[in-house]
Amino acid sequence: MIKNYSELVYKFVSSIPKGKVTTYGYISKKLKINSARLVGQILHKNIDPKNIPCHRVVFVDGSLSKNYAFGGEKVQREKLEEEGIVFIDKRVDLKKCLWK
């Protein structure tokens, strides 16, 4: 079952457009996983970060994960800023950048 969840999450995250973000909670709700934390755990083990842009997934308040698996919070922010994501202090401006 977990493997199926992983495939679903990776496919969903692959569809997030450049310049947009979504949240762990939205992914879990949309995919009927019932656990935003499980989505985070799956993305932490991302098998292909170049093609599965897990850096585009943030917390519900727009904050970034301090434990971003591919270089930490600073690297995640840099990747998002390169794509045009707008921040207000340390949080993504979800009003401008949220994708659903």
Helix (H) or strand (E) holding 57: strand 57-58
Taking the CA atoms of the chain, what radius of gyration do you get in angstroms?
12
Greatest extent of the chain over all pairs of C-alpha atoms, in Å: 39
- Domain coordinates of the chain in residue numbers? 2-97
pTM for the full predicted model = 0.94
Share of the chain above pLDDT 70, in %: 97
Res. 4 pLDDT band, cuts 50 70 90 = confident
Residue 1 has pLDDT above 60, yes or no: no
Residue 11 has pLDDT above 80, yes or no: yes
- For the chain, the average pLDDT equals 95
CATH among 3.30.9.10, 1.10.10.10, 1.10.3860.10, 3.30.390.30 for 2-97:
1.10.10.10
The span from the CA of 62 to the CA of 82, in Å, is 17
Q: Write out the two tokens for 31.
A: 């995919």
